[in-house]
Amino acid sequence: MELTLGFSPCPNDTFIFDALIHHKIDTEGLTFKVVYEDVETLNQNAFQSILDITKLSYHAYAYAVDNYILLDAGSALGFGVGPLLISKKGIDPESDKNLKVGIPGKYTTANFLLGVAFPGLQNKQEMLFSDIENALLNEKIDLGLIIHENRFTYQDKGLKKIIDLGDFWEKKTGCPIPLGGIVMKRSLPEDVIQKVNRVLRRSVDFAFQNPKSGLNFIRSHAQEMSVEVMYKHIELYVNKYSVDLGDDGKHAIKLLFDTAVQSGIIPAVNKELFLTQS
């Protein structure tokens, strides 16, 4: 059986999915047609139920939950992994409500955190996450919300950190920040969903046990990154929650959703968020 699968070309995703798509593990008869997109494009695709399986932002999951169920493996949660708000000069984000902020997408978890921390910042410009640093350098925006590998490169370009929004969330809640997860269409047969859940965990386990196995594949999709930065990126975003959400991970996700609903950032969610393992 072939399933469509979408994830980003970022090292954490290619690290996780390498063994699965290249059949380095037992995929239980499944094959995958892969689509590589940035996270906001994946979010938009999920709203239209285009792919069978997809990576998406947890913020976006609130708008796709009727059609998709969250798998236990493949998520990016953790401490010290949050998005950064940066600028070319030192700027107080609360000094001017008209400050123009470059964001990597309306439905990213990064934008959700920005809304919780600085609700007054409403002058937002959506752009590809990899374009935000240059937009700041060219003074097209005043503040930039960066994710992924850009947290390792912004200082080299003379840009300054204003706040780590992951650190803000951790201090506010004591929980890891849920960034993105892997979801699958609820309409697919239950046995297929359970099979993908098993195979995905197998792929993550293989990656941890053989971290250099997918080096060429990961490097072929990485943007302007040395191998050292590439693996720093992986170490930051791939951890125990990527193997299995567990009770702590699920609690953090539920808290994120409850906070977003209370803040009016997302509508009330009436579907079960998590897969029941059989």
Domains and CATH numbers, the chain: 2-77+178-262 (3.40.190.10), 84-173 (3.40.190.10)
Please give the average per-residue pLDDT across 215-233, as a whole number.
84
Nearest to 159 by CA among 177, 138, 173: 138
Please give the average per-residue pLDDT across 163-175, as a whole number.
91
Nearest to 177 by CA among 127, 218, 116, 126: 116
State the average pLDDT for the chain: 92
Q: Where are the beta strands (DSSP E) in the chain?
A: 2-7, 31-36, 53-57, 68-70, 76-78, 84-87, 101-103, 124-126, 143-146, 160-164, 177-185
> Which residues are part of the catalytic machinery?
148
Label the pairing between strands 53-57 and 31-36.
Answer: unpaired
pLDDT of residue 191: 96
User: Cβ of 183: how many Cβ atoms within 10 Å?
Assistant: 26
Asked if the model's pLDDT at residue 145 lies above 90, the reply is yes
Q: Binding site for substrate: which residues?
A: 55-57, 109-110
Asked if the model's pLDDT at residue 56 lies above 90, the reply is yes
Chain centroid, CA 43 distance in Å: 10
Q: Binding site: which residues?
A: 55-57, 109-110
Q: What is the helix, strand, coil percentage profile of the chain, to 5? A: 45, 20, 40
Q: Report DSSP state, residue 275.
A: P
pLDDT of residue 41: 93
pLDDT of residue 278: 66
What's the predicted TM-score (pTM) here?
0.86
CB 109 within 8 Å of CB 61: no
